[in-house]
A and B are shown apart, each in its own frame.
Chain A
Amino acid sequence: EPEVTQTPSHQVTQMGQEVILRCVPISNHLYFYWYRQILGQKVEFLVSFYNNEISEKSEIFDDQFSVERPDGSNFTLKIRSTKLEDSAMYFCASSTLTAYGYTFGSGTRLTVV
């Protein structure tokens, strides 16, 4: 069964450093997403991406965040200057908007120290 692959699985970074989280969506999917989940809390929408541009972004997705699909297979989330409150599990998802719904990756646990 096709999978969404995320790397790394866990990243520890110093406050103020830049991090890039990587995702390889399912190859025939056209819509890509990032969600995050702060420990013990609900999953929150960050951004959606379609046709090489952002479709929608949440209030959380401020100027410190950016997304890119650099080579037609990877989908990346960059946090420019990490804060302690960015510590969370970040999930990538992809979709074809059909009845099959969304496929989530296994997540990247980001810890900012």
Chain B
Amino acid sequence: ELKVEQNPLFLSMQEGKNYTIYCNYSTTSDRLYWYRQDPGKSLESLFVLLSNGAVKQEGRLMASLDTKARLSTLHITAAVHDLSATYFCAVDVNSGGSNYKLTFGKGTLLTVNP
């Protein structure tokens, strides 16, 4: 059974600081997604990482994928309060034919304090 482990699960940081969220997974996959979820809301797609070495950046967030290490990172640069949310990584695995499904990590609750 695929395991997707995120850490930390809770992250409280000050505005202006940098930090990294890690996502480890236990099976071969070269498709990984990062989502943001605000309380009571849906999943907002942040990054789609489709190959080893993929790096994508949007504003203060940068995501990378190392498929050999089965590791993805979400780096936050100079955090601002608006980034406060829960961040999920999700690994896309083929279960046969054209069947894919996402397995999510438990999420990282990020709180950015002034």
Contacts from A to B (Cβ < 8 Å): 31, 33, 35, 41-45, 48, 50, 55-56, 91, 95, 97, 99-107, 109
Contacts and interface: CB of A to CB of B under 8 A. Distances in A.
Interface residues of B, number: 25
Contacts, number: 58
Interface of B: 31, 33, 35, 40-43, 45, 48, 50, 88, 90, 92, 95, 97-107
B100 A43 contact: no
A86 B24 CA distance: 29
B89 to A, nearest CB: 10
Contact of A56 (B48, B99, B105): B99
A106 B42 contact: yes
Contacts of A103: 45
A101 B88 contact: no
B48 A42 contact: no
User: Which DSSP category, helix, strand, loop or mixed, fits chain B's interface?
Assistant: strand
Given A42-B106, A45-B103, A99-B48, A91 B90 contact: no
A102 B33 contact: yes
A105 B42 CA distance: 7
13 contacts: A33-B102, A41-B106, A42-B88, A42-B106, A43-B102, A48-B99, A56-B101, A91-B42, A91-B43, A97-B100, A101-B48, A102-B102, A104-B43
Contacts of A97: 98, 100
Nearest to A107: B42
B100 A45 contact: no
A42 B101 CA distance: 15
Given A100-B48, A101-B48, A45 B42 contact: no
B50 A99 contact: yes
